[in-house]
């Protein structure tokens, strides 16, 4: 059978999508042992896990990009989950990092705006997960800053205010939320979750993966595997199984 004929006979295969939207902590999530790679492995043959992490970005910039990533005309109905994971850059101290800093009230408004936009293109609240920034281990991050000729430009208490704002937005908008800032600090030494005081270590990636999977598993467990198991294909008449 010619490929064009097969294409005409068969229905277009569309993989559902999980969209990961965030800053560098999302961008790096497909590295070895990353939390995004873990989700992709768990969901293979069921979903495409799409990494839209953009290092260094804050919510002020993110809300401008989101409508270019998802529109009604780009099959928003195929998106089964979206994570919004910003705050590590927004919470940078204004006097030391004015380019990335976003005031707390604006940060909350930007998150709310992104959730409202997703709802406007028919991505329901139960498909949206907000993620707070993780805690900041100041001494380790100060070393990273000094190595670049900078001063310590973030502090954990300030990051906590942004995390609380993220939790509040999720509550108001009816979405799920993963409060990493609080959960990670239940461990006496949360620095083991971080590679440089800000970004995730292997242990931190595993922690995020487990926490996110516990939220996604119920949402996505009913999704079927796409295409039949190879032993179930009729080898005498594969068209009957595959088209």
Active-site hit among 24, 113, 192, 201 = 24
Query: How far apart are alpha carbons 40 and 30 in whole angstroms?
Result: 9
pLDDT, tens digit (0-9, with 9 covering 90-100), for 155-166:
999 999 999 999
E-strand spans in the chain? 17-22, 48-53, 79-85, 128-131, 176-178
Told to judge if 206 belongs to the known catalytic residues of this protein, a careful annotator would answer no
Of 48-52, 87-91, 131-135, 219-223, the least confident: 219-223
Indicate the average pLDDT of the chain: 92
Give 77 or 242, the one with higher predicted confidence. Answer: 242
Active-site hit among 192, 196, 201, 206 = 196
Told to judge if 214 belongs to the known catalytic residues of this protein, a careful annotator would answer no
Q: What are the distances in angstroms from CA 68 to CA 19, 119, 199, 214, 220? A: 13, 15, 27, 29, 25
Query: How far apart are alpha carbons 197 and 120 in whole angstroms?
Result: 37
Q: Nearest 5°: phi and psi at 232?
A: -90, -5
Told to judge if 199 belongs to the known catalytic residues of this protein, a careful annotator would answer yes
The CATH superfamily assigned to 17-217 is SGNH hydrolase (3.40.50.1110)
Per-residue model confidence (pLDDT) at position 7? 57
């Amino acid at each position: 059978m010619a490929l064009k004929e097969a294409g005409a006979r068969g229905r277009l295969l569309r993989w559902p999508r999980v969209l990961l939207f965030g800053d560098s902590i999302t961008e790096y999530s497909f590295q070895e042992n990353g939390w995004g790679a873990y989700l992709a492995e768990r969901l293979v043959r069921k979903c495409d896990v799409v990494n839209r992490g953009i290092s260094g970005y804050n919510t002020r910039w993110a809300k401008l990009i989101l409508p270019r990533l998802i529109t009604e005309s780009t099959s928003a109905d195929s998106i089964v989950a979206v994570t919004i994971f910003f705050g590590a850059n927004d919470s940078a101290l204004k006097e030391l990092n004015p380019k990335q800093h976003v005031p707390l009230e604006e940060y909350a408004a930007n998150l709310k705006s992104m959730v409202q936009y997703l709802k406007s293109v028919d991505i329901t609240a139960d498909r949206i997960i907000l993620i707070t920034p993780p805690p900041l281990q100041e001494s380790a991050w100060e070393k990273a800053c000094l190595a670049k000729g900078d001063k310590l430009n973030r502090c954990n208490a300030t990051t906590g205010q942004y995390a609380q704002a993220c939790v509040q937005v999720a509550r108001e908008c009816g979405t799920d939320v993963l409060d990493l800032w609080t959960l990670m600090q239940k461990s006496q030494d949360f620095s083991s979750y971080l590679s440089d005081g800000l970004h995730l270590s292997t242990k931190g990636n595993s922690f995020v993966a487990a926490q996110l999977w516990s939220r996604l598993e119920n949402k996505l467990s009913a999704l079927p595997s796409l295409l039949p198991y190879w032993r179930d294909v009729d080898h005498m008449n594969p068209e009957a199984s595959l088209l």
